[in-house]
Structure 1
Amino acid sequence: MSKTPLNETISSSDLNKLTIITQVGCGLSMFFLGIVLFMHFLLRKSKASNSTRILIHLVTAMFLLNLSFLVNNYVADMKHAMGCKIMAAVMHYFMLATFTWFAAQAFHLCLQLYMEGKIVIRRYILKLCITSWVLPSVVVIVLLIVRKYGEQVISTSDTQQNVAMCWITDSDTHLAVNIGYYVLVFLFTFTTFIIVLSWLLCRRRTASGNAQDSRSGKSIITIMGLCCMLGITWGFAFFAYGVLRIPSYYIFTVLNSFQGFFLFIYYYNTSHSGEVAGGKNSNTTSSSSSTTTLKSNLDIFDNPYMNMPKKK
């Protein structure tokens, strides 16, 4: 999605192009995210793993974020003050929830690596859900109470083509709550991405040449899926200053338009691999099952711990 900083002016031509890219991108993203939800709730035949459940929560939050963004302009054009405040609060909530699920995904991946795929935390998914869905609501309620939501005008070089949307009206609040929060999420998720990418490269070095060549395409899809799943692509918003402002808007908008597609591919690969791995595990010993648990949860990757000596 495209997001112009508060109190900044953009050319009407760039704004029109970004608006079209954003609307088309959100529509495509919603389409693929909708397919993921359809496949998960109506076509899934086996019990979902924890990794899949967390991914579905992220997909749900992102789907609702895209939906609220597309509806936002129409609500703003109605010029209804209370309706605009509610719309701003709803979109802000799903944006913060999406950020939080990015962090939850990163936390889950780190925990999987650290515990070698065997997470024994009691009511693990419930605790993640409470944190990721409830925490953003607290922030939104506070901002509603202090009246920080309302109509925000995006200024252009042609004042007659200014665009109104429902959003946070105070720039300091926007910087503190949104940018500040995402900086923390980005640092955590980017670190996780580097760790997992290093793990993938380690696995590929130990694989045979033929196997490596046959899976190189899938590895690229996996990396892009991880970027979207961990919210790395949102990091281009950090470059939206000075001469890099307009180019970063385009890169940010285009990359985030593909989030739904890559998450769809990632979900399909991981759910398929999870079912295959699950079928294999049912016919193996407990020791071999423990070494493939991480593979069934992180799905596409092979377990780099398989050839390592076991802990005493």
Structure 2
Amino acid sequence: MGGSVLAVRAGVSHVKDLPQPIKLIFKHDKTMQNGICVFWQESLHMVGKGRWSTGGCETNNTDTEFICSCNHLSFFAVLVNPVLSVDKSNAVALSYITYIGSTLSVFFTIISLIIYICLQCRRPEKAIGVHMQLTGALLCLHLSFLLCCLSGWLLKDNEDSLVCRGLGLFLHWSLLATFSWAALEGFHLYLLLVKVFNIYVRRYMLKLSLVGWGLPTLTVVVCGILGVYGKYIVNVRDDNNSTSQICWMSSQFPQRVLVSYITTVAFPCLVILYNSCMLGMVVFRIWGLRRGCCGTESTSSWKKMNKEKMTRLWKDCTTVLGLSCVLSLTWGLLSTTYISLPGIYVFTILNSLQGVSMFLWSVAVTRKSRSDNDSSIRDHSSSQKMMTTSFNN
């Protein structure tokens, strides 16, 4: 609404529970179809702090106006993204989902690391090495998140200790490392799509490690020197206007928003965009190979797909879904959290269980490795089979 805020006051005392509500009109264009009337509720615990609340206000939306009917006087505005206002019950449910999902991810990523280490010892492959690095970064991410949440509960309100700063640095580093290795997974997939055979880069894993671990380390060292990390305060939307805290980027750091936007918004968006293009290339290649194999068939025969074709289609869909998790494309669902509350739940569930998805992918890689060992002769002319399994190779 262009930052428009209307203030209605009378005297020095609070005016509330009016028998006849006052009406405030906010004009808008037709592009703003969703909005909700709110008032500024000051915090009882922190001077100068507060939140937007819907208590005592009703919203009537016309084609050109938001009409707010409120039974008290205060500062009023219209939020055009009302679904972001998660109430306390949903916040508690989302918190439990996140904690349980992260705990499961820690457990299953440890198992995945053991599987990849065994596979790497038995038959060293670059793809397995990349998977192993990404799994390690994901383990650090979920573990650091749980530690930061736990420390946030134990910290005192006025405490911003060195431990909290260290945990905030560890969480930031783990997040950057996860997206860095997700981008390197996409780069490795690109090499397999462009140069299917005879891929050789001198000290390939060493160079990838310098990027995957070195870039996050350099970033957090600079942020640590600038004093970015510390206690981050989150306002909980409940009647008591309570607050929660976590070890992350300090709320007192003046440039926190800028640093957070560059490192936790812009960088992940670039990674997701790049990996989405890589996944699109995989889907296009699979579609082209399937079309090439079945191009001589008529339309009627294609519609009457037999059991073997259905199996191939299921495998293709499973491959695409697995790659989506490996390439961390589930983080792209963050955009759905601006649309609806179910989008927030879907985003929370999928990303908190990303470690479980990596475990399922490691099981698929293990089965593929066993299948390769059992096959003494490979038909390299079968490009269709090669495409669906080349990422594991």
- TM bucket (normalised to shorter chain) is 0.7 to 0.9
Give the conservation status (yes or no) of the 8 Å contact 2:98–2:352: yes
SS of the aligned residue for 1:122 comes to coil
1:222 is the counterpart of 2:319: yes
1:213 is the counterpart of 2:299: no
Describe how 1:1-312 pairs up with structure 2 within 5 A.
10-42=86-118, 46-79=122-155, 80-158=160-238, 159=240, 161-169=242-250, 170-206=256-292, 209-241=306-338, 244=339, 246-277=341-372, 280=375, 283=377, 297-299=390-392
Q: Which has more strand, going by share of residues?
A: 2
Deviation at 1:290, TM superposition (A): 11
Q: Which residue of 2 aligns with 1:305?
A: none
Deviation at 1:57, TM superposition (A): 0.7
CA distance in 1, matches of 2:197, 2:119: 26
Cα separation, partners in 2 of 1:237 and 1:141, compared to 1, 3 Å: same
Q: Which has more helix, going by share of residues?
A: 1
Give the conservation status (yes or no) of the 8 Å contact 1:76–1:166: yes
Q: Between 187-196 and 168-177, report the one with greater CA deviation.
A: 168-177
Deviation at 1:94, TM superposition (A): 0.6
SS of the aligned residue for 1:267 comes to helix
Q: Which residue of 2 aligns with 1:303?
A: none
Deviation at 1:277, TM superposition (A): 2.8
CA distance in 1, matches of 2:326, 2:216: 18
Deviation at 1:147, TM superposition (A): 0.7
Q: Which has the higher contact order (CA 8 A, sep 6+)?
A: 1
Give the TM-score normalised by structure 1. Answer: 0.83
CA distance in 1, matches of 2:92, 2:331: 21
Structure 1 vs Structure 2: percent identity of aligned residues?
A: 28
CA distance in 2, matches of 1:205, 1:274: 27
Name the amino acid aligned to 2:245.
Answer: A
Q: Which consecutive unaligned segments of at least 5 residues does structure 1 have? A: 1-6, 301-312
Deviation at 1:134, TM superposition (A): 0.8
Cα displacement string for residues 166-204 of structure 1 (whole angstroms, at most 9, x for unaligned residues): 111312211122101111111101111111122222333
CA distance in 1, matches of 2:164, 2:128: 35
SS of the aligned residue for 1:151 comes to strand
CA distance in 2, matches of 1:232, 1:288: 32
Give the conservation status (yes or no) of the 8 Å contact 2:119–2:366: no
Cα displacement string for residues 212-234 of structure 1 (whole angstroms, at most 9, x for unaligned residues): 32233333332221111111110
Name the amino acid aligned to 1:255.
Answer: L
Size of the aligned set, in residue pairs, is: 290
Cα displacement string for residues 106-125 of structure 1 (whole angstroms, at most 9, x for unaligned residues): 00001111111321110111
Cα separation, partners in 2 of 1:228 and 1:53, compared to 1, 3 Å: same
CA distance in 2, matches of 1:293, 1:111: 14
CA distance in 2, matches of 1:43, 1:113: 23
Cα separation, partners in 2 of 1:211 and 1:49, compared to 1, 3 Å: farther
Answer with 1 or 2: which has the greater Rg.
2
